[in-house]
């Protein structure tokens, strides 16, 4: 039986990847290793937690000794590495947390994999999940391609770029078989309500301000999270070892436009007068070093592996809003406790 270690599986994207693999590959044992930070929530996996081919491991990737033991104990054949600190604003207020998990944690995992696999490296795989933010910021034109030079500009993207470099260095130095994929902004169920879309959904429900950084004209490319999970599955099973794949939605939006679209959907879903939610929009001080535009050219994964996004954006956004409205308890749970304190410190304006 194959044994895949997925890290960060209790988080937003990881929970969709774990679910997809557990359900699609009943003959493969899936181990989900997660520290359960503020962003990790086992409620995200309730529907599959009893599956015979699923096992949760509560651990921190910064704990190198524990990782070595786990590789010996469970004999993983491959790793899909999603565990990370993922929010740019938090990386500005606490960069070292990002160095610890994203850089040191990734190197710990690489060391554990190389040590455990050294006699049979050809049959192993280390798949590292990364972001388009490593490429920096675009002007009005152009796209990020797989060979675009790295130019990270936030502590978050610098930590992810560093981890990408380590993964490639381990391929070159120790012949570790790897994949890296760099994806654009994800949206969908289970996203922690500190990121733009779930934050706004939560705030509309509570009649709180919708904070728009700067003028709201920064651009992001948005992809439904299940389409990202499908791309990861495809790369894992059919990608060419050693390759990098960019994943994106072919779907660029200015922040202010996406928030207005979301407001219109929320008004309809909550049976409010049109324009009610938009009145909550509040322009606030810009994020320090705010990247202007991200845009992915995903033609490589499209032409080589036949992947493309399955959902139209408005359809995906409606599904997302429906999920949050139907899962108020989930929102209540994650917005209480330590997150709440952080939220008040950041956005009391």
CB–CB of 39/102 below 8 Å? Answer: no
Q: Which of 61/259 has CB closer to ligand NAD?
A: 61
Helix (H) or strand (E) holding 18: helix 12-24
Is 133 catalytic? The answer is: yes
Stretch that binds ligand TYD, among 22-30, 207-215, 244-252, 299-307 (CB under 6 A): 207-215
- Nearest distance, CB of residue 77 and ligand TYD, angstroms: 32
Q: Can residue 39 be called a binding residue for ligand NAD (CB under 6 A)?
A: yes
Q: Does 105 sit near ligand NAD (CB under 6 A)?
A: yes
State which of positions 214-243 bind ligand TYD (CB under 6 A).
218, 220
Is residue 211 involved in binding ligand TYD (CB under 6 A)?
A: yes
On whether the CB atoms of residues 179 and 239 are closer than 8 A, the answer is: yes
Taking the mean position of all CA atoms in its chain, how far away is CA 49? 21
Which of the choices ligand TYD, ligand NAD, none does residue 196 contact, using the CB cut-off of 5 to 8 A by kind?
ligand TYD
Count other Cβ atoms within 10 Å, centred on residue 333.
13
Tally DSSP H helices, then E strands, for the chain. 13, 12
* Least distance in angstroms from the C-beta of 61 to ligand NAD: 4
- Within 143-254, where are the H helices? 155-174, 196-205, 225-238
Contact (CB, 8 A) for 34 and 14: yes
Please, what is the end-to-end C-alpha distance for the chain in angstroms? Answer: 54
Q: Is residue 283 annotated as a catalytic residue, yes or no?
A: no
Q: Which is nearer to ligand TYD, 71 or 187 (CB)?
A: 187
Lookup: tokens for 227: 């389409």
104 binds ligand NAD (CB under 6 A): no
Count of residues interacting with ligand TYD (CB under 6 A): 12
Which residues, including other chains, have CB under 8 Å from residue 220's CB and lie 6 or more apart? 184, 185, 252, 253, 255, 258, 293, 294
Candidate segments 53-61, 193-201, 271-279, 313-321, binder of ligand TYD by CB under 6 A = 193-201
Cβ contact 195:282 at 8 Å: no
Which range in 5-13, 142-150, 321-329, 339-347 contacts ligand NAD by CB under 6 A?
5-13
Q: Which of 54, 156, 187, 224 is catalytic?
A: 156
Taking the complex as a whole, how short is the minimal distance between the CB of residue 216 and ligand TYD, in angstroms? Answer: 6
Which one from 60, 133, 146, 252 is the annotated catalytic residue? 133
Q: Which of ligand NAD, ligand TYD, none does 218 bind, CB closer than 5 to 8 A by kind? A: ligand TYD
Q: Could you count the other beta carbons within 10 Å of the beta carbon of residue 145? A: 14
Closest CA to 244 of 160, 179, 332: 179
Residues 244-283 that bind ligand TYD (CB under 6 A): 255
Tell me which of 107, 199, 229, 334 binds ligand TYD, using CB under 6 A: 199
**Which SS3 state, helix, strand or coil, does residue 49 take?**
coil
Of 48, 107, 113, 129, the residue at the interface with ligand NAD (CB under 6 A) is 129
Toward ligand TYD, which CB reaches closer, 74 or 287? 287
Backbone angles phi, psi at 172, to 5 degrees: -70, -40
Tell me the angle at which helices 313-326 and 255-269 cross, rounded to the nearest 10 degrees.
Answer: 50
317 counts as binding ligand TYD under rule CB under 6 A: no
132 is catalytic: yes
Give dist(CA 244, CA 21) in Å, integer: 21
Does 195 help bind ligand TYD (rule: CB under 6 A)?
Answer: yes
**Binds ligand TYD (CB under 6 A): choice among 25, 213, 236, 339:** 213
Distance, CA of 190 to CA of 197 (rounded, Å): 11
Q: Which is nearer to ligand TYD, 8 or 177 (CB)?
A: 8
Judged by CB under 6 A, how many residues of this single chain contact ligand NAD? 30
Check residue 30 for interaction with ligand NAD (CB under 6 A).
no
| Residues at the site binding ligand TYD, with contacts judged by CB under 6 A | 88, 185, 195-196, 199, 211-213, 218, 220, 255, 287
Which residues are known to be catalytic? 132-133, 156
């Amino acid at each position: 039986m194959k044994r895949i270690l997925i890290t960060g599986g209790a988080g937003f994207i990881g929970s969709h990847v774990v679910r997809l693999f557990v359900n699609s590959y009943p003959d493969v044992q899936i181990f989900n290793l997660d520290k359960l930070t503020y962003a990790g929530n086992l409620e995200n996996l309730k529907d599959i937690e009893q599956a015979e081919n699923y096992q949760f491991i509560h651990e921190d990737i910064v704990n190198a000794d524990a990782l070595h033991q786990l590789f010996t104990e469970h004999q993983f054949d491959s790793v899909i590495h999603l565990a990370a600190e993922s929010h740019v604003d938090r990386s500005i207020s606490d960069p070292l947390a990002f160095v610890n998990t994203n850089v040191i944690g990734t190197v710990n995992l690489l060391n554990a994999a190389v040590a455990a696999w050294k006699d049979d490296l050809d049959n192993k795989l280390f798949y590292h999940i990364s972001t388009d933010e490593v490429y920096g910021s675009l002007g009005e034109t152009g796209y990020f391609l797989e060979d675009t030079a790295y130019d990270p500009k936030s502590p978050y993207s610098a930590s992810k770029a560093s981890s990408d470099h380590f993964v490639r260095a381990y391929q070159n130095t120790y012949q570790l078989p790897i994949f890296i994929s760099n994806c654009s902004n994800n949206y969908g169920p289970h996203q922690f309500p500190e990121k733009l879309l779930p934050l706004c959904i939560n705030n509309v429900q509570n009649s709180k301000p919708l904070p728009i950084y700067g003028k709201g004209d920064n651009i992001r490319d948005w992809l439904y999270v299940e389409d990202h999970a499908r791309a990861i599955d495809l790369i894992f099973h059919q990608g060419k070892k050693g390759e990098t794949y960019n994943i994106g939605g072919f779907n660029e939006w200015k922040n202010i436009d996406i928030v207005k679209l979301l407001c219109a959907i929320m008004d309809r879903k909550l049976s409010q007068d049109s324009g009610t939610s938009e009145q909550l929009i509040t322009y606030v001080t810009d994020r320090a070093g705010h990247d202007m535009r991200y845009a992915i050219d995903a033609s490589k994964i499209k032409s080589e592996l036949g992947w493309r996004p399955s959902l139209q954006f408005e359809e995906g956004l409606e599904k997302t809003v429906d999920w949050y409205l139907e899962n108020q308890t989930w929102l209540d749970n994650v917005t209480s406790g330590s997150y709440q304190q952080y939220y008040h410190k950041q956005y009391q304006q």
